[in-house]
Amino acid sequence: MSLLVLGLNHRTAPVEVRERIVFGAERLPGALADLRGLPGVQEALIVSTCNRTEVYAVGATGEAVSGWLVAESGGDAALADCLYRIEGPDAVRHAFSVAAGLDSMILGEPQILGQLKDAYRAAQQAGTAGSLLNRLFQNTFAVAKRVRTQTAIGAAAVSVASAGIQLARRVFAGFDRHTALLVGAGEMIGLTARHLHAQGIGRLIIANRSTNRAERIAEGLPASVIRLDALAVHLPQADLVVSSTARPGHVILFEDVVRALDERRHRPMFMLDLAVPRDIDPRVADLEDVYLYTIDDLRQVMDENVKAREAEAAVARRLIEEDVTAFMAALKVRDAAPAIRELRGQAEATRDAALAEARRQLAAGQPADAVLEQLATTLTSRLLHAPSAALREAAEAGDATLAEAAARLFRTGREPP
């Protein structure tokens, strides 16, 4: 097996580096095709979220994939210093751990499993997921389910969205008199809207390029929907701004925030940028009345979450070790299958030829006992000729390894059964 995982995540790279190498849905098919076109690459899959970008490849060299990622980032050589490279059983362990939420910024968070399924589906549609990646990710999803069923790693899960709301509480004592402006209409914004509603937010505004998607999030909530091009007009109304889009470039501009603060008479604004690449111009952090946080600033909330779940995580890791061992054993059996099929095919061909000769002799009136003895002698001779010759050659060369393997294989007296 030549499975390679190469990528970066929230532990190895800050957001300003991670945002340089993001594969959105529209970019993914072309990227997968390019990746599959690298020398030696037989299979390929890309996972790209706000916290990680990882390439899963079969048959690739780390140097080829690393060079490709650097080129995809616009040639930023600094990105190479942030990459990790994982191979073989460790790569399997990594995939299982990621799916179970053990490698997430928030320990046990469930969103990553859906993101992995999306990545796998994209690779299938692009035709870059072959037998090994199919087997790996089908097992990965089963392991994640087992971990969540047999441990409490996901109990009372703290999502990135809820962690952001906890951070906002450090700025606002309560939310009932405040307005929140949510930018985007993905899963993260949907979670944020529900959390804010549960916390008693006074008013919600959801801005998105497609108002249909925003309206689905707003359904059943005290929320109004606006188009993304009206964002600057409504920004002065917002006490809290949470943005998570998949758009390139800044969605919330520095100049628009400056104007909004003037109109608000410099009442404070809490702004949380959950997007990678970032939605909010980072210069906004320099404005006196703005509390701007990125997804990397949620670490303190995450650390508290990790301490609460570490015991369950230890149980989950033991389960994953069992599954890694089982997966690798199954791969070894799979790797041996072609040799087993060839061996059986040769033996069956020998049997069929000997049996046909025996039937011919019986039809010619030869005694049955003589025919059966000849059949047994022929089968024994033909089946053992090749291994006997190989053993003699090995013995003449002073190689005892083949004899030991034969003793194990045929369970002769040289090795206990």
Q: Which residues are catalytic?
A: 50
ω before 248 within 30° of 0 (cis)?
no
Q: Catalogue the long-range contacts made by 78-81 (C-beta closer than 8 Å, 24 or more residues apart).
A: 78/17, 79/8, 79/13, 79/17, 79/20, 79/21
Nearest to 35 by CA among 9, 71, 2: 71
DSSP letter at 252 equals: B
**Tokens standing for residue 242:** 């949470």
Alpha helices in 3-60 (DSSP H): 15-18, 28-36
Place of tokens 């009372």: 156
Cβ count within 10 A of residue 31: 21
Q: Considering only CA atoms, which of 62, 69, 56, 68 is closest in space to residue 17?
A: 69
| Ramachandran quadrant class, 265 (left: phi over 0; alpha: psi -120 to 50; beta: rest) | left
The CA distance from 232 to 365, in Å, is: 101
Residue 175: both structure tokens together: 């939310």
User: 123: helix, coil or strand?
Assistant: helix
Instruction: Return d(Cα 207, Cα 197) in angstroms, integer.
Output: 16
CA distance 106 to 64: 31
Name beta bridge partners: 182.
Answer: 206, 242
Report helix, strand or coil for 152. Answer: coil
CA nearest to 25, candidates 121, 100, 128: 121
Strands (E), 245-349: 269-273, 290-294
